[in-house]
Amino acid sequence: MPTKSPQPLHFMSIRDAARLIKKRDLSPVELTRAFLDRIDKVDKKTKAYITLTADSALAEARAAEAEILHGRYRGPLHGIPLAHKDLFDTRDIRTTAQSRVHEHRVPAIDSTVISRLKQVGSVMLGKLAMYEFAMGGPTTPFLEQPRNPWNLAYTTSGSSSGSGAAVAAGLCMGSLGSDTGGSIRGPASYCGIVGLKPTYGLISRYGVFPLSWSLDHAGPMTWTVEDCAYMLQAIAGHDPKDPTTSRAPVPDYSKSLREDIKGMVVGIPSHYFFTSKGGADAEAIAIVKKAVTSLEDMGAKIEDVKIPSLEHVNVSNFVILSAEAFAYHLPNFKTQPQNYGDNFLNRVYLGGVFSGADYVQAQRARSRLQREFAQALEKVDVIVSPTSSSPPVPFEKFSATTIAVTPSFTSPYNQTGMPALSLPCGFNKNKMPVGLQIAAKPFDEPTVFRIAYAWQQHAQLYNNRPPV
């Protein structure tokens, strides 16, 4: 298979690479080697990988190439090099959740999502860094945290920190992340990529380390919207091993990738997402407001909507998350507390302080939030906002206290279970990315993709690559 590519292979999108592979103009083996070379040169700076599986990746690429040459092409992920957050179980490959608690753990099975990506012929380059057990960051006592490819002094946000850094830096073509309060969308926003938290129940979490059973989501992180749709297509759908998954049929997400959004109604909860009250970043809000104006110029109608219960989301999300996380980790807290990092312990130990009444009240607040969003979405097609209320910061300026008290723009959608996607919409004065967040009714990922793709094609920000 000769290569016919006008750009470096490590900066190709999945869509473009897949078209060449299908025509036999690009070799999966050559593509995989290009990424392994890129990792060797760059990851000493970005520190995105925990475990690199170079030998097995090349074996998978050779197998994909042989199948394609014999006419057995499996689809747009066949021969595509991916890498995944280190909380997805991978058979015979170490899976640590970036914690000394599981430093030497090697699963005997694949998580369902990893198995499904294997079934469509993808290549796995390795496992990526993260916050400890998807919460204890931005530094951990076990292995270093990734650096932001746009500025290596800056954090990537978390907890899917390695996934954000790897996709942005051209160290893989896509990644699986997890999201309990914004852990896919936060790194997507900070690293200038696309990240989708799908509808609760659309993606199996079997074989995935839990943080909070009722808030956890798994989802794709990619360079473009269409790449995100391809990954979602491969992993979505009912799994008998995960009773929370829906039996609803999975649509063809690629059909929603249209540039026309005329007549669509965009809801703006300006009282919460578009005010700097509470410490939200005014510059990011202004950048997103310009994007909203562009959506209106493209034919969408903009309507202000009210979601009164948003004022309680920080508290309700933290109570639910930390209480459920404390319950999961309690056996290990009793037997090996020394193997946990302080950042994780300081947050999750609070879950043992909350009472049953506190947890019930948080769930009641969550129910009100769900009802209010459902009412708003009777009048609008999507809700649009900034992804993050705080901008990317250098490691030395990170403050857990600041993050805790500023409003969360991502956790409302963990509580409602709605699909929510982040994609780039500009850069701030420090030349760091700003994310635009788009959310819709449960299982209405097609509408999210339609708006996101239209904005992406209008803005063309995917042509910008980080300097690393």
- Which tens digit of pLDDT belongs to each residue from 439-455? 999 999 999 999 999 99
Rg (CA), the chain: 21
Q: Would you write out the chain's pLDDT as a tens digit for each of its 468 residues? A: 545 556 799 999 999 999 999 999 999 999 999 999 999 999 999 999 999 999 999 999 999 999 999 999 999 999 999 999 999 999 999 999 999 999 999 999 999 999 999 999 999 999 999 999 999 889 899 999 999 999 999 999 999 999 999 999 999 999 999 999 999 999 999 999 999 999 999 999 999 999 999 999 999 999 999 999 999 999 999 999 999 999 999 999 999 999 999 999 999 999 999 999 888 999 999 999 999 999 999 999 999 999 999 999 999 999 999 999 999 999 999 999 999 999 999 999 999 999 999 999 999 999 999 999 999 999 999 999 999 999 999 999 998 777 778 999 999 999 999 999 999 999 999 999 999 999 999 999 999 999 999 999 999 999 999 999
Who's near 198: CB < 8 A, 6+ residues apart? 217, 218, 219, 232, 236, 419, 445
Instruction: Classify residue 302: in a domain, yes or no.
Output: yes
**For residues 305 and 269, what is the distance between their CA atoms, to the nearest angstrom?**
5
What is the spatial order of strands in the sheet that 265-268 belongs to? 49-52, 123-128, 81-85, 174-179, 217-222, 194-197, 420-427, 433-439, 382-386, 265-268, 301-304
Classify residue 104 by burial, with Cβ atoms within 10 Å: 0-12, 13-18, 19+.
Answer: exposed
Q: Please indicate whether residue 183 is annotated as part of the active site.
A: yes
Classify residue 63 by burial, with Cβ atoms within 10 Å: 0-12, 13-18, 19+.
Answer: middle
Instruction: Classify residue 1: in a domain, yes or no.
Output: no
Hey, what are 166's tokens? 């790897």
Query: Angle between the 313-335 and 356-376 helix axes, to the nearest 10 degrees?
Result: 140
Which one of the listed residues 27, 159, 175, 212 is annotated catalytic? 159
Instruction: Classify residue 3: in a domain, yes or no.
Output: no
Give the range of the structural domain holding residue 43, as residue numbers without chain letter: 11-463
Who's near 368: CB < 8 A, 6+ residues apart? 309
Which one of the listed residues 178, 183, 385, 422 is annotated catalytic? 183
Q: Which of 187, 163, 253, 124 is nearest to 388 (CA)?
A: 187
Q: What is the DSSP track for 161-212?
A: HHHHHHHHHTS-SEEEEEESSSTTHHHHHHHT-EEEE--TTTB--TTB--S-
Instruction: Classify residue 303: in a domain, yes or no.
Output: yes
Model pLDDT, residue 402: 76
The answer to whether residues 287 and 425 touch, using CB atoms and an 8 Å cutoff, is yes
Which one of the listed residues 13, 27, 47, 85 is annotated catalytic? 85
- Residue 424: strand pairing partners: 435
| Domain harbouring 51, CATH code | 3.90.1300.10
Give the DSSP letter of residue 154: B
Residue with tokens 């959740």: 97
Count: domains in the chain: 1
Q: Please indicate whether residue 159 is annotated as part of the active site.
A: yes
- Residue 49: strand pairing partners: 128
In the chain, how long is the greatest CA-to-CA distance? 64
The answer to whether residues 426 and 420 touch, using CB atoms and an 8 Å cutoff, is no
- Which tens digit of pLDDT belongs to each residue from 217-248? 999 999 999 999 999 999 999 999 999 999 99
Model pLDDT, residue 334: 97
Instruction: Classify residue 360: in a domain, yes or no.
Output: yes
Instruction: Classify residue 5: in a domain, yes or no.
Output: no
Instruction: Classify residue 327: in a domain, yes or no.
Output: yes
Q: Please indicate whether residue 255 is annotated as part of the active site.
A: no
Instruction: Classify residue 214: in a domain, yes or no.
Output: yes
